[in-house]
Amino acid sequence: MSVMQHMAAANNKWHAAALALPAAPRGFGRRHRVSCCIQPPVGDRGIGEDRLTEISIATDGDGIFGVDMKQLIDDAQQSILHLNTGRTTAFEKLQKVERERDLLAARVAQLKAEHEASMAECDLLRQKAKQFEMSFHVSGRQGKSAGSMKRFKMNRKRFNPPSIWSEILLRIDAMTLTGVLQIEQATSLRKLVWARDAQIADMFFKLADGNDAELSARLLSIISSTRRRSLHIVHICTEMAPVAQPGTASFNISNLCKALRRNGHLVEVILPKYDCMDLSAVDNLREIETDLYIYFGDQWHKNRIWIGTLYGIAVTLLEPFHPGNFFAREEFYNYNDDFERFTYFCKLSLEYLLKLGKQADILHLHNWQTAAVAPMFWEHYAHQGLQDIRLVLTCHDFRYQCLRDPHKLAICGLDPEQLNRPDRLQDDLEPRFINMLKGGIVYSNIVTTVSPIYAADVLTKEHGYDLHVTLNTHKDKFIGIYNGLDDVLWDPALDCALPETYSVEDMAGKSVCKASLRQELGLPMVDDSVPLVGCILFENSEVELKLIRAALECAVGEEAQFVCAVHNNPGLGIRLTGKQIHTDANARLLGVNDDALLHRIVAASDILYSPDMYEPASQSVMIGMRYGAVPVARQVHSITSSIINLDEQQHIILHATGFPFYSTEDSDAITSLHDALTYWKCHPEMWSTLVRNCMSKDLSWDSSCVEAYEAAYWSVHKV
């Protein structure tokens, strides 16, 4: 019964009672009128003043026809209380209906995303083609790479959506007949094919031209992964390639999400809706016709929600209508109000999850920009029905931490007095500030970074960026996981930036790449027996110039050639190409912004020299290995590495992949480079084996990388 119906019923009841009252005794000459105005509490929408019910009872003399005045007022008060109770119940039911409506809308969106993801063959081929063609056009070498593009288009034609499943079934039959697969294994794989499983299509696309043993092993790993329960993982981040890619972290996040999805997990991503982002790659982007309000800075603010899919992954874009225009800007980062911008986004993300009642298994946070989610979650949201969620924080770069005045925490609803403590958010070096990255470390269930080497470095005072005390305090939950390599972007067999492609089975194109680079850079045109040492440094690289100088002198002294390129790092590039290092006719030092030139340098290199004191993810090492450039790189003792040292004395080369050094001294680096050049000259056959070992190593996100993240998730998962 509605509030108005309750009021009307009460009015009728009281009028009937008045008519049934006995006649007034004589002598009551004065007449009175009692008016009861029943008005709902302020804020009850839909009832205006003109709708108020007035109850009038005529009276004579000092009484009301013999009726007890106090009893009448008590009855009226009870009726009003009953009306208020009914109103509260109705309001709660309305809230429940609205919540169920929002949950249903979210479920519909999720099912649509899953349906789109299930169209694996179309999505897979379209995205791979888009990525490959993008690198083709960026390279600017269409003419020289026509053969490569033709081969790729032939492969795309071969694996068109209607036929890919038939190709897989035929290959399974062939492997069964030859004894590579058992009948039970083949049956399980056929079930995945009939179900149009995205994982098996993606794996077959990548390994179709490989040998049966490798293909069968990877396909069988899919069977084992589908038998275990999957996780629901929500990434809260401020960048993701290709829609928002201010740095390398955006590619790492994108590749991790795709690898997790291929392993059967339900993956979602929440991002700010920047004005400067590229939304062309987002499929079925649409706005949800509802507004979400959050309380921030002592005011309520309206927000819009957009949803779509990227690589078959459900993506939510949150658009704030804040007077600060937090994300309506030309750049992603480096504004004076970045603290306000990203704490707002963190709170908005949690309110969005709470409103939908999303019970994810894992919230995966990235860098300081979303680290505030962790203290907000445990201080305000966990007890509101989200207590089973666990938090994982990945820091891609510990240099960026965000230090602010503690009182700023109040604008996002956090208590400065509670959190400005040494064991919470207070900065270790500057106690007058709070440290947002530290807060994420303290409040997250597990903290990861982009390689075991980097994890070992930041635990030390020299390389910990003043967070080493906090990281050591929480080292039991701190791990380093190697990022994988984007095997679409970095593939010498399909690289359009190269004058001639090559592979581990056919290395002829590498010599062509070396001769072409010499001509492009004006190096002496010597024969192929002269080794070329390459060195590529990225935007986040830190390296001492003495290590570059020493490598240049060593390479030239050993009658080799040396090419070093700094990519998108103006400060290091200026120092490198200035007067501080004297070059030679057989050496080139370059500051470049051209991605394609980096590809050509790596492809032409026989040895890749990586002297970084700081390149967290060791991407240059993995790129070199992928292109058959044997790495000489800094490693950390006792830390598992992608480089397996070659024991030169015993010539143990079965699994060797490079020549590591273990200190920051130029003498150690040059010793390893000298060993590599000597091995090139004295053991050419073994060097070929070394190159094959490098190129055959699985460095993709689908290898041990995604398995390590899965292990981290399961270690904190609430059973």
3-state secondary structure of 253: helix
Q: What's the pLDDT tens digit per position in 343-375?
A: 999 999 999 999 888 889 999 999 999 999 999
Specify the residue for token string 């399974």: 172
Query: 232-480: which CATH topology?
Result: Rossmann fold (3.40.50)
For residues 86 and 425, the model is more confident at: 425
Angstrom distance (rounded) from CA 205 to CA 214 = 13
Strand order in the sheet with 659-661: 587-592, 561-567, 532-537, 607-610, 630-634, 659-661
The CA distance from 557 to 251, in Å, is 39
pLDDT single digits (tens) 247-279: 888 989 999 999 999 888 989 999 999 999 999
- pLDDT score recorded for residue 644: 75
- Is 665 exposed, middle or buried (CB count within 10 Å of its CB: 0-12, 13-18, 19+)? middle
Q: Judge whether 525 and 496 are in contact, CB under 8 Å.
A: no
Determine the pLDDT at residue 235.
98
70 vs 656, which has greater pLDDT? 656
Same fold? 232-480, 507-696: yes
CB distance 484 to 255 below 8 Å: yes
Q: Reply yes or no: is the peptide bond before residue 375 cis, omega within 30 of 0.
A: no
pLDDT in tens, 17-46: 544 444 444 444 444 444 444 444 444 434
Mean pLDDT calculated for residue range 490-516:
94
Q: Which two tokens stand for residue 359?
A: 């019970």
Confidence tier at 434 by pLDDT (50, 70, 90): very high
Lowest mean pLDDT across 233-242, 571-580, 686-695: 571-580
Confidence check: pLDDT of 509 > 70: yes
Cα separation, 469 vs 442, in Å, equals 12
HEC letters along 351-414 = HHHHHHCCCCCEEEEEHHHHHCHHHHHHHHHHHHCCCCCEEEEEECCCCCCCEECHHHHHHHCC
Rounded mean pLDDT of 179-198? 80
The residue type at 667: S
Does the domain at 507-696 match CATH 3.30.70.1730? Answer given as no
Non-local (6+) Cβ contacts of 134 within 8 A are none
pTM of the model: 0.68
In degrees and rounded to multiples of 5, residue 626 shows phi and psi of -60, -35
Decide: residue 614, CB within 10 A, 0-12 exposed, 13-18 middle, 19+ buried.
Answer: middle
Question: Of 227-236, 289-298, 441-450, 607-616, which range is least confident?
Answer: 607-616
CA distance 297 to 446: 30
What is the structure's pLDDT at 53?
Answer: 45
> pLDDT by residue (tens digit) across 88-136?
777 777 777 776 676 666 666 656 555 555 554 455 555 555 555 554 4
In the chain, domain spans: 165-226, 232-480, 507-696
Question: Is pLDDT at 143 greater than 50 in this prediction?
Answer: no
Q: What is the mean pLDDT of residues 378-387?
A: 93
Tens digits of per-residue pLDDT, 558-576?
999 999 988 765 555 455 5
